[in-house]
Structure 1
Amino acid sequence: MTAAIQCPLFVPATRANLIPKALASGADAVIVDLEDAVAVDRKDEARAALASFLGEHPDARVHVRINTPTSGELDADLEVCRGHAGIAGIVAPKAESRGALERIASLGKPVWPLLETPAGILALAELTRVRGVERYSFGALDFAFEAGVTPDSDGGRAVLDHARYQLLIHSHAAGLIPPLESVFPDFQNVDRLHAIARRASDMGFGGMLCIHPAQIATVKKAFSPTEDELSWAQRVMEASRTNEAAFQVDGQMVDAPVLARARRILALN
């Protein structure tokens, strides 16, 4: 089920009244945010609002982004997550420590570490060994700040892509669900969002974090096969029924890896 989650949508815990709308928005999952979207002096209020919502909506299922291990808020966040079956998974920001992830994973809920720092990228070999880690996501804005790069410059994009490469390689090597691409803050720029999401899909990401319901349809379209891709995959599968081993489709050689790619494309439709 989680493998099909392509566009999770963030909702601030302090605006719990928006959670039902988010659940009905078409998002594949809703991430209730206790971290960046909540002011420091409103953390208790945010946890209380989340607990109240879950108590009033026992059938609802949400993920929760908790606070960092160094924030002083982690114990209280985990207590809320431990006490509610409606919390389907935990998003762990600024993941850098295997011990911290093991503590979060001990709750028995799937964990999505958020890679937002160079230290987190360097620790990936250790972090992927934590039982309970299901998939990673990338936090490009925080990573750019931590690394001191300009996000929208050629140099900045090169550094961010290097981090993406590491995240993808470690995720696939560990057999995890493909990671989620970072949020795109300009939710009104549909063309740019589609281009970024499509590029992430081509790179091997499994979806993209969303911050506004208006982004959902665009992200889903970008991560879905195009008509040309579907048509090619169907031709490959049809040819495979009457051919063995390697054969040609559209003048190109088809062997086992190409056949596997055609099956994957059709499975995404």
Structure 2
Amino acid sequence: MSTATHAALALARTFLFVPADRPERHARALATGAGGVIVDLEDAVAPDRKVAAREQLRASFAALPAAERGRLLVRINAHGTPWHDSDRALVGELAAERLIAGVVLPKAERAADLHQLAADIGLKGLLVPLIESAAGLEAAGELAAAPQVLRLAFGNLDFQADLGLACDADEAELVPVRLALVLASRRAGLAAPIDGVTPDWRNAPRLAADAARARRGGFGAKLCIHPDQVAPVHAALGPSTDELAWARRVMEATRAAGGGVASLDGRMVDAPVVRLAERLLALDTQTAP
């Protein structure tokens, strides 16, 4: 996949799951305008359907427009499961044929697994490790630094199950976990991480609160489980009209100062302020669903 594809997925605000064994939904998922579509061979597919789901993916993806495949990722089954090795072989073939942009690895806990997967999918393939356990959190820095990793993602529900947590809707207990993933991403020079799902897709206030928390906490995207979640999450994680106006004024002031330190509304505009303005303007280039 191209550099432009990588850049688009690095700035994408929404990643929509779709079952691998429902090929009629793959094109529909892309049509939602989600920044990335994750075709799921793991949780969304029953054990007795995994082989059939895997075997039909190539035909499903080949039928899609080439430009759309740049938003496709496949979530394979976790390392240690009976399906992992066959899934790895498949995504290696799909990546070589440029039918997918990359792979989501669930239950990511060891950098060695990512190194192996990176070799399978080739240098142009992208990896998104899904942090879903205490072991994954402990290894977050190593996972973020593994080759071809584009972003970290948080599996908030599985993480709670792994630790035996019983979080309320605000998931206050997970604040330090989320911060750790943001810090690991920053240290590794990755794009902002992808926050976990809001399981009740009919609950618009809960979705809005979760997306707002993600943005406050430094996440740049969110996993979605239903098409109706895509547009509101995209809007919530993007810059507001006021923020964009401020960012444009910052850039104008910087240009007027010849690239040096400038002043805007009585406040100094230096390099960190300029970087924030540039990020806000870059986010605005993402097409709305």
Moved over 6 A (4+): none
Please name the residue that 1:71 is paired with: 81
For the residue of structure 2 that corresponds to 1:23, the secondary structure is helix
1:15 aligns with 2:29: no
Please name the residue that 2:103 is paired with: 90
CA displacement, residues 119-141 of structure 1 (integer Å, 9 cap, x when unaligned): 10101232233212221100000
Please name the residue that 2:39 is paired with: 32
Contact kept, 8 Å, 1:141 with 1:151, in 2: the verdict is: no
Q: TM-score, normalized by length of structure 1?
A: 0.92
Please name the residue that 2:278 is paired with: 263
Provide the identity percentage: 45
In the alignment, structure 1 segments of 5+ residues that lack a partner are none
- Alpha-carbon deviation of 1:21? 0.7
Please name the residue that 1:104 is paired with: 117
Contact kept, 8 Å, 2:144 with 2:151, in 1: the verdict is: no
CA displacement, residues 12-71 of structure 1 (integer Å, 9 cap, x when unaligned): 011111101111111112111000111112111211232331344473512100001111
AA paired with 1:106?
Answer: A
Residue 195 of structure 1, aligned match among 180, 202, 209: 209
Provide the C-alpha distance between the structure 2 equivalents of 1:111 and 1:38, rounded to a whole number of angstroms.
21
For the residue of structure 1 that corresponds to 2:129, the secondary structure is strand
- Alpha-carbon deviation of 1:151? 2.1
AA paired with 1:101?
Answer: L
- Alpha-carbon deviation of 1:186? 1.4
1:207 aligns with 2:224: no
CA displacement, residues 131-155 of structure 1 (integer Å, 9 cap, x when unaligned): 122211000000011111112167x
Does the C-alpha gap of structure 1 residues 242 and 128 become closer, same or farther in structure 2, counting only changes over 3 Å?
A: closer
Contact kept, 8 Å, 1:183 with 1:209, in 2: the verdict is: yes
In the alignment, structure 2 segments of 5+ residues that lack a partner are 1-7, 285-289
CA displacement, residues 178-214 of structure 1 (integer Å, 9 cap, x when unaligned): 2101011111222321222122123221211111111
Q: How does 1:52-67 map to 2 (within 5 A)?
A: 52-57=59-64, 59=66, 61=69, 62-67=72-77
CA displacement, residues 154-197 of structure 1 (integer Å, 9 cap, x when unaligned): 7x523x11111111111111111221010111112223212221
Provide the C-alpha distance between the structure 1 equivalents of 2:169 and 2:13, rounded to a whole number of angstroms.
27
AA paired with 2:128?
Answer: W
CA displacement, residues 51-95 of structure 1 (integer Å, 9 cap, x when unaligned): 331344473512100001111111111121122221210000000
Q: Which has the higher contact order (CA 8 A, sep 6+)?
A: 2
Contact kept, 8 Å, 2:15 with 2:35, in 1: the verdict is: yes
Contact kept, 8 Å, 2:132 with 2:156, in 1: the verdict is: yes
Moved more, 94-103 or 124-133: 124-133
Provide the C-alpha distance between the structure 2 equivalents of 1:57 and 1:217, rounded to a whole number of angstroms.
22
Task: Please report the RMSD computed on the Cα atoms of aligned residues, expressed in angstroms.
Answer: 1.9
Moved more, 176-185 or 231-240: 231-240
